[in-house]
Structure 1
Amino acid sequence: MRTFEICSGDTPCCSVSDNFGPIDAISPGNFVFYDLMQNQIGSCAPANIAVAMSCPVVDKYPERRELIIHGGAIHFSKESMTENGITHYGTVAHKVDKHWEPLGNDSHLIKLSQEHGIIRCSNHVFKNYNIGDTITLLPVHSCLTANLMKQYRLTDRNGTVKMMK
């Protein structure tokens, strides 16, 4: 007699379940990190998003309020989402206490090439970043971003930083 494993779950279901009954395995995808897609469908708040990508600003275009970053499809994948009529690959964020918070609804990673991206910014965000600065973005889909990176910088509750591979 053959026994089959019972596997269930995606991130939204696993986020709200506290009893998995006879299930042998769960497959929640980006459950550990969450991301902007999960936020958009309501399974998490922005403060629950645990993965963010920091990229250097390599150029600025004031006439378009755009920053060019060294962060492209290699870093974010080509997974996009549309919010308020804007299709994007990530949102500019900053750290507040021990979580990430988007810097408004008007500063997004709007275009990608293989290694570079274009962030269209609010005036406030544009003025606060210069060439050589590092800017942080929350990815649309953290599974793909986490898979593309070779190591993580983790912080514990006390702010201690660890590097993980």
Structure 2
Amino acid sequence: MVQAILDEHKIAYKSIELGEVELKSAITTEQRNQLGISLLQSGHELMADKKAVLIERIKSALIFLVRDADQHPKMKHSDYLVQKLDYDYTYLANLFSEVTGVTIEHFIIAHKIERVKELLLYDELNLTQIAESLNYSSVGHLSSQFKKVTGLTPTYYKQLKHKKRTILEDVGIM
């Protein structure tokens, strides 16, 4: 959708990733205003505030870290964020908590639990495999965290007929 809007406005871009677009060159104020209107009409938002942009970059990085956890074995999320965003972790953690009202840790846990729900729905992996793929120290740790967040055991959740998942944009934010 974002790519189509950029093309429609004849705005050249280098890359489009989750929540971020890198333009090839600067755009005029008029182009920026028109782009902002088009994005709003499509349910997206043009963010100008540097802190808001950084928060979105943190969220995107964390979502990718959780989604591809098996590709980042035993990597601490603090190290990953510092490496990915090139900011001091304490600054990122404080900013994230201040703006979103939740800690980075809480955000990660919420996303991991949503990923567990997703994997349980697919029914392709058992709980041990899910725990390993998400870098949990044990099935017991995954199960206790799952129960703490959802109020259900993973096994009971898997048996539910109406499995409810949270919209990705709403995960971890109160």
TM-score norm. by structure 1 comes to 0.27
Which structure has the highest helix share of the two? 2
Which has more radius of gyration? 2
> As a proportion of its length, which structure holds more strand?
1
Q: Give the alignment's TM-score, normalised by structure 2.
A: 0.26
